[in-house]
Amino acid sequence: MAGIEISALTKEFPGGVQALNGLDLSIADGEFFALLGPSGCGKTTLLRTIAGLETPTSGSVRIGDRDVTRLPPGARNVAMVFQDYALFPHMTIEDNIAYPLKIRRQARETRLKHAHDVGSQLGLDGLMRRRPAELSGGQQQRVALARAVACHPSAFLFDEPLSNLDARLRLEARTFLKRLQRQLGVTTVFVTHDQAEALALADRIAVMEAGRIRQIGTPREVFGRPANTFVAGFIGSTPMNLLPGVVRDGAVLVAAQQLSVLDVPDGEVVVGVRPEYVAVTENGPLAGAVATVENLGTSSLVTVDVDGLSIGAVVPEDREVEPGTRVALNPTRVLVYRDGELVS
Amino acid sequence: MMLVVKRILTYVVMGVGTAFFALPVLWLLSAPLDDTPTYAVRPPRTFSLDNFASIMDNRYAVASLVNSTILSLGTMVLVVSAAALAAYALSRARVPGRDALIYLLLLLSSVVTGTAAMVPIFLLIFQLGLIDSHFGVILVLTGGLLPAAIFLLKDFIDTIPPSFEESARVFGASPLQILRQIVVPVARPGLATIAVWTVVQVWGSFLTPFILLRDPDKQPAAVLVRTFYTEGGSPNLGLIAAFSLLYSIPVVLMYLLAWSRYGFRFHGGIKT
C-alpha cells in the first residue's frame, strides 16, 4: 500500500496536443480519489500515465517511496480496471482472475484457489467456469474488479468503472465499489465524468479542465465552495446559478437587489448560488414570475425570471408552485467570483 | 397473379442457375466410378474403382498430391506468420500513410502472381537458383498472397480492443507473453480463416508452379492433371475424373473443418 505523488507532470502528444500541463497532485495512502472532468480534459491520460501506459513528457510519478516514472507498467504494482473491463474472451472467469498470478509464475493450483477465494468474496461463486461473454455487464465488472484485487496491488486505477452499466445497476455497483475499497483500504484512483459518482464515492476529488487541475478537495468542499466558475458549473446535479452582479461598499447586488454583505472589494463580479440554497418565499430580495417547473422526484426545479435573469430554485415536493405565479427568492450561501475565481 | 408469375420466374432462374453449377459437381461424383466415362452427366454404366487403381499406378499422380501439400502448407506457414506480425504492427502502430500503403500492396499483389509478371519472376527465381525448387514457388506464392492476408487480418485485429493488451501489460506480461497468451488466442478464428484461405489458393494455383517447376516429380496436382492423356492423344477422362475427385476432397474437408470450428464468424472483444 502506498500513496501516489505526482509532480510537474506534463504530457504532450505528437502533433502538439497538450493533455497534461504541469500537474501536481498528492494522493494519500488508502485514499479513494476521483479524477473528474469533461471528456478531453486529460483525466484518462493522467490515470494511464500513473499506470505507465503513457510516458510523460516531463515530470515524475512516485508510488509509495519509489519513483516509477520510467518503470514499465508491470513493474509498478498497480492494477487497472478498464472502461470495457478488458476481460479476455478466450479464458474462463477463473483463468481471467488468476491471470495476474500466472504472470507471476504461481502454480496453477495455488492461483486457481486464490481466484476462487477472491471470486467468492466478490459474489462470483458459480460463474467461475463461464466465459466473459456469458456474463451480464454487472457481473463482468465484478470479474474485472476481482482480477484487480487478486494481484494485491499497492494501488487500484479505475477508468470509468461504472460507465458501461445501466443507470440502476450503476447505483448498486457504486455502493459495492465503495464498500470494497473500504474493506481493502487500498489507494484507489478513479476517473469519471459523472460528478454525482465522484461526489458519492471519493474521499477527495480533483476537478480537471484542459490538462490542469482546477480544484482539489473533499466532496463537501468541491460542492459547497467551488474554487472557480468552471467547477461551480460542473459540480451539482442541478446547474449552479451564475449571475452577473456588482459589489458596492461590501453589498453584493444582483438585479440591483442586495443579496448579502461580504468583505470584498467593489467591482463587477459573478454571483454563484446553488438552486438548492435558493428559497422560494413570500418576501425575499429577488422577485419574478415562475417560468418552468421541472419535477426531480422528491423536489422540483423552479426557474424564475427576475429582470431578464433566469434563476433556478429547488423546492420540496409539497411546496410546488404553478408556472406564471409571482414569487420572491431568498438566496443563501452566496459565493462571489471575480475573473472566474472564488473571492468570497 | 403478377406475384405468382414473378415467383415462378424466380424459381426457374434459380433452378437453371443451380443446375449450371451442379452439373460439373455431379459429373465429378459419377464419372470416377464409371468404367467408360464420357462428358455426359449420368449414373455410372458399369460401376468400377479401376480409375482409382490407375491413379495408384501412375508414378506421378500420388507424388503430385504430396507436392501440392508441401506447397500449400509451406506457403500457409509463411503467409500466416508474416501476415499476423505485419497486420498486428499495422493495426497498433500509428504509421503515416498506412492505409495507402495497404491498398498499394493489395493492388500490386495481383500483379505479382499475375501473368504479366511471369517473365521477370522467372528470371528472378532463375538467378536465385530456385527453379525447380518448392521453396521458390512458396516464396512467389507467399509474396502474391501476403497483401490480401495482411489486409484481412488487420481488419480482424482492429476489432480486438487494445485494452486487452494494455490490461495484460499492467499485470506485468512481457510482449511475447501478450502475443502468445492474449493476441494469438483471441485472433485464432482470423488466423484459421487466413490459413484455410491460403491453402485453398495454393492448392488451386496453376501458373506459378507450372512455370517454375520443370521436373514432373516436383509438380503439384493442379499442374500434373494436364498431362493425363491416353496413348491415342485424347483426354483420359477416367483418370482425370478420379484424380480431380481426390484432388478436391482435402479442400472440401478444410472448409467443413473451419466452418464447424469457427463458422467463419469473426469474434472480437465485447461491445462497449
The pair phi, psi for residue A28, each rounded to 5°, is -75, 160
Strand partners, A187: A155
H or E element that contains A234: helix A229-234
CATH number, position B208: 1.10.3720.10
DSSP calls for chain B: -HHHHHHHHHHHHHHHHHHHHHHHHHHHHHGGGBSS--SS----SSB--HHHHHHHHSTTHHHHHHHHHHHHHHHHHHHHHHHHHHHHHHHHS--TTHHHHHHHHHHHHHHHTSGGGHHHHHHHHHHTT-TT-HHHHHHHHHHHHHHHHHHHHHHHHHTS-HHHHHHHHHTT--HHHIIIIIIHHHHHHHHHHHHHHHHHHHHT--HHHHHH--STTT--HHHHGGG-B-TTSSB-HHHHHHHHHHHHHHHHHHHHHHHHHHTT----S---
Scan for cell 503430385, then name that residue: B64
In a domain, B37, yes or no: no
User: Cβ separation of B168 and A99 shorter than 8 Å?
Assistant: yes
In a domain, B256, yes or no: yes
In this predicted model, what pLDDT tens digit does every residue of A202-251 receive, in sequence order? 999 999 998 889 999 999 999 989 999 999 988 988 889 998 888 888 88
Q: What is the pLDDT of residue A34?
A: 92
In a domain, B135, yes or no: yes
**How much is the average pLDDT of A306-310?**
86
The pair phi, psi for residue B204, each rounded to 5°, is -95, 0
Scan for cell 415536493, then name that residue: A317
How far is Cα A62 from Cα A83, in angstroms, rounded to an integer?
24
Mean pLDDT of chain B: 86
- Does residue A251 come out as left (phi exceeding 0), alpha (psi in the -120 to 50 range) or beta? beta
> Please, are residues B195 and B80 in contact by the beta-carbon 8 Å criterion?
yes
User: Cβ separation of B171 and A90 shorter than 8 Å?
Assistant: no
Q: Out of A38-52, A243-257, B191-205, pick the least confident.
A: A243-257
Q: Does B161 touch chain A (CB under 8 A)?
A: yes
How many domains in chain B?
1
Q: What is the 3-state secondary structure (H, E, C) of A193-210?
A: CCHHHHHHHCCEEEEEEC
How far is Cα B45 from Cα B29, in angstroms, rounded to an integer?
13
A74, A85, A87: residue with CB nearest B169: A74
Q: What is the pLDDT of residue A281?
A: 84
How far is Cα A9 from Cα A22, in angstroms, rounded to an integer?
5
Q: Does B29 touch chain A (CB under 8 A)?
A: no
Q: Does A153 touch chain B (CB under 8 A)?
A: no
Q: Does B207 touch chain A (CB under 8 A)?
A: no
H or E element that contains A271: strand A267-273
Nearest residue to B272 (alpha-carbon basis) of B189, B161, B165, B154: B161
More confident residue, A217 or B94: A217
Cell of A119: 471470486
More confident residue, B98 or A77: A77
In a domain, B19, yes or no: no
Distance, CA of B262 to chain centre: 17
A84, A90, A132: residue with CB nearest B185: A90
Scan for cell 480519489, then name that residue: A33
How far is Cα B129 from Cα B125, in angstroms, rounded to an integer?
6
Confidence class of residue B267 from pLDDT cuts 50, 70 and 90? very low
B-contacting residues of A 33-52, CB under 8 Å? 51-52
Cell of A156: 487500484
CATH class of A4-234: alpha beta
Q: Does B173 touch chain A (CB under 8 A)?
A: yes
A74, A84, A100: residue with CB nearest B269: A84
Distance, CA of A238 to chain centre: 16
What CATH number labels A241-342? Answer: 2.40.50.100
Amino acid identity of B208?
A: T
A53, A90, A157: residue with CB nearest B186: A90
- In this predicted structure, the answer to whether residue B74 has a pLDDT above a threshold of 90 is yes
Q: Does A185 touch chain B (CB under 8 A)?
A: no
Full residue range of the structural domain in which residue B188 is found: 59-262
Q: What is the pLDDT of residue B268?
A: 41
Chain B residue whose CA is closest to A147: B171
Q: What is the pLDDT of residue A279?
A: 87
Nearest residue to A235 (alpha-carbon basis) of A210, A205, A269, A212: A205
Q: Does A74 touch chain B (CB under 8 A)?
A: yes
A78, A83, A87: residue with CB nearest B272: A83
Strand pairing category for A267-273 and A309-316: unpaired
User: Cβ separation of A73 and B172 shorter than 8 Å?
Assistant: yes
Ordered by start, the domain boundaries in chain A are 4-234, 241-342
Structure letter (DSSP) for residue A240: P
Q: Out of A57-61, A166-170, B19-23, pick the least confident.
A: A166-170
In this predicted model, what pLDDT tens digit does every residue of B113-171 receive, in sequence order? 677 788 888 999 999 999 999 999 999 999 889 988 998 898 888 888 899 999 999 99
Q: Which residues of B touch A74 (CB under 8 A)?
A: 169-174
Radius of gyration of chain A (CA): 24
Interacting residues of B50 by C-beta distance below 8 A, sequence separation 6+:
B35, B238
Mean pLDDT of chain A: 88
